Structure 1
């Protein structure tokens, strides 16, 4: 296996790990709150996983994977924008 292939696999597995962590964090947080909750960390793990997997898809030249991860990247970024915009609004009103 070449160095490039090893790097590509590392990027891909890092992305998969980050996606796993988002579900793990959501599960733990929901258990703690005793209801279904999506913490902000979920969106950060989603964004990080999406960036890694999009990079992996581009390196693999897999158009289906590229399109799928590109849309996720936009959604995760937009959700974080809304979260931070709401927090800023709340701080300004306090």
Structure 2
């Protein structure tokens, strides 16, 4: 039984790390690293501020990593990841639009105060 399990595990690992190793796997790994980097950035910025902060770069990395993972999911035809990353992208893009809107409004308010 242990030999069969060992052979099955060896075959699985061979399939994952060798047989399926192609451009799309490299893209998927890069996309996952990019997506994970957003948490490292968020943690670092929050630690420096001493409170929870979500920097703009978090949303940019979310869009970049999420977009590449969505592409990867489409190519691999993985419905679970297509739904997950697709819905996530909509949220990330909406958050970026809200942040940019807030910045425009703050800039307009600052310019309005300077003219009076």
TM-score (norm 2): 0.75
Aligned length: 93
In terms of Rg, which structure is larger? 2
For structure 1, list consecutive stretches of 5 or more residues without a partner in the other structure: none
- What's 1:24 paired with? 40
In 2, are the aligned partners of 1:26 and 1:38 still within 8 Å (CA)? yes
TM-score (norm 1): 0.92
For structure 2, list consecutive stretches of 5 or more residues without a partner in the other structure: 1-17, 111-116
In 2, are the aligned partners of 1:11 and 1:55 still within 8 Å (CA)? no
Question: How far apart, in 2, do the equivalents of 1:85 and 1:11 lie?
Answer: 32
In 2, are the aligned partners of 1:18 and 1:45 still within 8 Å (CA)? yes
What's the offset of the Cα at 1:6?
1.9
Question: How far apart, in 2, do the equivalents of 1:11 and 1:89 lie?
Answer: 38
Larger mean Cα displacement after TM superposition, 41-50 or 5-14:
5-14
